[in-house]
Amino acid sequence: MNELLSPTNDYVFKRLFGESPDLLLHLINDLRYDLPPITSLDILNPNIEPSELNGKCIVLDVLARDAEGHCYNVEIQVRKYGSWHKRGLFYLARTLSNQLDAGQDYQHLGASIGLHLLDFDLFDGSDAERQQAVWRFEMRDETQPKFTLGNILQMNLNFLHGSLCNSVVGGLSRAVYYQNLPPLRFVK
C-alpha cells in the first residue's frame, strides 16, 4: 500500500513549496488569480531572528520575494485557535520590517503579503461568511473604505473548501505536471 501524505501537513507543505520556486510561483498566482501574475521569485530563509536578545524568533512555512521586491509569506493552518489572527498579523509585520537595512530609504519597501491557506472556518457568523472562500484585507479607512494606504500590508485568507480548493488543487496538479514531478494526489 502506497500511503500519501497530505499537503496540509506542515512538513510536506514546506518541502513541496519551500524547495520548488516554480511550484510556489504557480500556487501564489492561483491564490491571487484576480491580480497580475508574478513571473519569478526567490525562496528566502523562513527563519526571522529577533533584533534583540529577548525578542521573538519566528519560523514561517514559506517565505519568498518576487522580482518587484514584494515578500510573500505562505502558510498552511489546519487547526483554529484563539490567537491565530494575531500570529498571522505579527508574521506580516515582521516580513515588512525585515525588508530594509539601516540607511535604506522607505521607497525601497516592497509589499508584505500573507497568503494563508486555512482548513477551518474562521468566520462563521452567517451563511455568506461561511461561503466566501477568499478574503483579502488591506489598510483602509473605517469611515470611508475607498481611501487606502495602499496594499503594502495585505493579508489573504484562502479557505480550503468549495470552489477555491478545487481551483488550487487543479493549479497545483498542472504545476506538478509541468515540473515533471511525480503526480500528487491530495488527501484530506
The per-residue pLDDT for range 12-44, each reduced to its tens digit, is: 888 888 888 888 888 888 888 888 889 988 888
Number of domains in the chain: 1
The per-residue pLDDT for range 129-143, each reduced to its tens digit, is: 777 888 899 999 999
Tell me the whole-structure pTM to 2 decimals.
0.79
Range of the domain at 40: 18-178
User: Is residue 3 included in any domain, yes or no?
Assistant: no
User: Is residue 6 included in any domain, yes or no?
Assistant: no
User: Is residue 188 included in any domain, yes or no?
Assistant: no
User: Is residue 67 included in any domain, yes or no?
Assistant: yes
User: Is residue 5 included in any domain, yes or no?
Assistant: no
Cell of 186: 491530495
User: Is residue 187 included in any domain, yes or no?
Assistant: no
Spatial separation of the C-alpha atoms in residues 36 and 29, rounded to whole Å = 8
Q: What pLDDT band is residue 186 in, cutting at 50, 70 and 90?
A: very low
- Single out the residue of 77, 144, 83 nearest to residue 115, CA to CA: 77
